[in-house]
Amino acid sequence: MVEDRRVGTPSKNTRSIVFDGICTMAMNALVAGPFLAAFALALGASHWEIGLISAIAFLSMPMQLVGLYAVDRWKQRRRLVVVCALTARLLWILIVCLPFLPEKDSVRFLLAVLVCIGLIAAIPGPAWHSLVRSWLPADSLGKVFSKRLAWGTVIGLTLTLAGGFFVDAWPNLTGRPPFEAYSALFFIGVLFGLMGVRVLTHLPEPPTEGERSESLRALIGLPLRDASFRPLLAFIAFWNFSINLATPFFVVFMLERLLLPMRAVTAFIVLQQLVSVLSVRIWGILGDRLSNKAVLVTTVPLAITAVAAWSFTTLPERYALSIPLLIAIQIGIGFSLAAIPLSITNLALKQSPPGLTHAYMMIADLVGAPSGAIAPLIGGWMMDVFAAKHFAVTFQWSGQTTQLSAYVLSIRGLDFVFLISALAGLIAFQWLALIPESGTPGNIWWKFKEELSLPFRRSPATASFRENDPLGV
């Protein structure tokens, strides 16, 4: 049988997709997250501008309409992905050079370049999702993407941890300003990004399924008229608002309120990513075997609880339980934020008809754009509004010789933002009941425990023990 070079073999496609994911996540580990937020703060960015940086990805999502039009009309999906990815990643060179340019308006220049990068990077979204659906069988999406995410996270967390120590050591080693260390990290990130683009050029260009649609409006309207798809869209919109109201300010909170050094901040982020990488494969398997909806029902409440718990890490400053509670929060966020995006993506891919995947996935991304964009802006604004607000419950004891006063509860500043984010998450959670998906929910945490212990039960030592066990236990 002659192989169709336009499609390629599934194993080769899988390896390429996984390697591209590794390069992309390695780049994001160095050019986004704690390093970008700390770099912006070092340049003098305000809290609202930090929120704006997080909002750019969502503000850029309407550019997917351009990508949808290009895919539907010209069918050159891989070329569109490669050209846009290459352009967006090369623009990071301007940010790399920013510390060596005049300081005047440096924050505005940073924001302008990030907006350009976001707009260009958003265009090929429909083309990418359509290609993935053509490259991979539907029943292996969870396995492949969990593997891609797992390996990418391993590399990403290693680079994040190393980058934190690098930033703290930079002034002592070089005598140069700390923000120049971020420039070096961004440059290394760009190199990883270019490696990912090179891998994409070797992937095949399968024939596009379906005929050209009559109009862009008709193509966009199909997912919106799909009654079984609309509840998922509503959940995405509410959840994007909830989670993006809080997550852009986790790093700010650790730096400004908990007064942690960058190496400690990156260590906590690495802990979260380590939990993600250890669990994401299992979430993918459970989503394929049981249902993605069951995974969401289990992990969304965990994420809501973890976000709310940030408000109790200070009382009103750091105290004995601050670090243990922060560790527990990172573990909870690691579990939930590994499962939730994966399950949402798989749900949207499975509910999209062949030939219309690019339209359905584009709408799934686009519907969460307004709420995801406005949430960090509102969060940054609320930080300033609540900056001077303080709600406290204290315990006081007065005796003849002793007086004791201690905080039982202390909520101020960002704490209010985290609690409001958790309340918004509860509203999003209500929409999960309306999402249709076949499959048996089962006891997810019990199944998770079984999958987690499976490698140990299959180990050679365990197998040998069982063979020599007269009871066969």
Q: What is the pTM of this model?
A: 0.73
For residue 330, the model assigns a pLDDT of 94
Estimate the crossing angle of helix 414-430 against helix 230-246, to 10 degrees.
Answer: 170
Is residue 81 within 8 A of residue 276, CB to CB? The reply is no
Confidence of residue 211 (pLDDT cuts 50, 70, 90): very low
Q: Does residue 227 belong to any structural domain of this protein?
A: yes
Q: Does residue 165 belong to any structural domain of this protein?
A: yes
Average pLDDT of the chain to the nearest whole number: 82
Nearest to 377 by CA among 22, 147, 14, 47: 47
Could you tell me which residue, 387 or 303, shows the higher pLDDT? 303
Q: Does residue 362 belong to any structural domain of this protein?
A: yes
**pLDDT, tens digit (0-9, with 9 covering 90-100), for 185-196:** 999 999 999 999
Q: Does residue 401 belong to any structural domain of this protein?
A: no
If one counts the domains in the chain, the total is 1
Say if residue 43's pLDDT is above 90.
no
Q: Does residue 59 belong to any structural domain of this protein?
A: yes
By mean pLDDT, which of 61-75, 132-146, 184-198, 400-414 is the weakest?
132-146
Cα–Cα distance for residue pair 40/50, rounded to 1 Å: 7
Confidence of residue 117 (pLDDT cuts 50, 70, 90): very high
Say if residue 5's pLDDT is above 50.
no
* Separation in Å, CA 400 to CA 396, 397, 403, 404, 405: 14, 10, 8, 11, 15
Q: What is the DSSP letter of 407?
A: E
Q: How long a stretch of residues is the chain?
A: 473
Confidence of residue 472 (pLDDT cuts 50, 70, 90): very low
What pairing do the DSSP bridges indicate for beta strands 390-398 and 403-412? antiparallel
Could you tell me which residue, 395 or 211, shows the higher pLDDT? 395
Calculate mean pLDDT across residues 159-187. Answer: 87
Could you tell me which residue, 13 or 161, shows the higher pLDDT? 161
Burial of 254 from C-beta contacts in 10 A (0-12 / 13-18 / 19+): buried
Confidence of residue 202 (pLDDT cuts 50, 70, 90): confident
Q: Does residue 457 belong to any structural domain of this protein?
A: no
**pLDDT, tens digit (0-9, with 9 covering 90-100), for 252-306:** 899 888 989 888 998 998 898 888 878 878 888 888 788 888 889 889 999 999 9
Measured torsion, CA atoms of residues 308, 343, 351, 434, in degrees rounded to the nearest 10: -30
For residue 229, the model assigns a pLDDT of 86
Nearest to 76 by CA among 64, 67, 85: 67
Confidence of residue 1 (pLDDT cuts 50, 70, 90): very low
Q: Quick one: tokens of 257?
A: 């309120």
Say if residue 3's pLDDT is above 70.
no
Calculate mean pLDDT across residues 28-40. Answer: 88
For residue 465, the model assigns a pLDDT of 38
Say if residue 133's pLDDT is above 80.
no
For 216, the domain range is: 10-385
Q: Does residue 127 belong to any structural domain of this protein?
A: yes
Q: Does residue 99 belong to any structural domain of this protein?
A: yes
Could you tell me which residue, 68 or 285, shows the higher pLDDT? 285
Q: Quick one: tokens of 384?
A: 């300033």
- We report the CATH number of the domain holding residue 134 as 1.20.1250.20
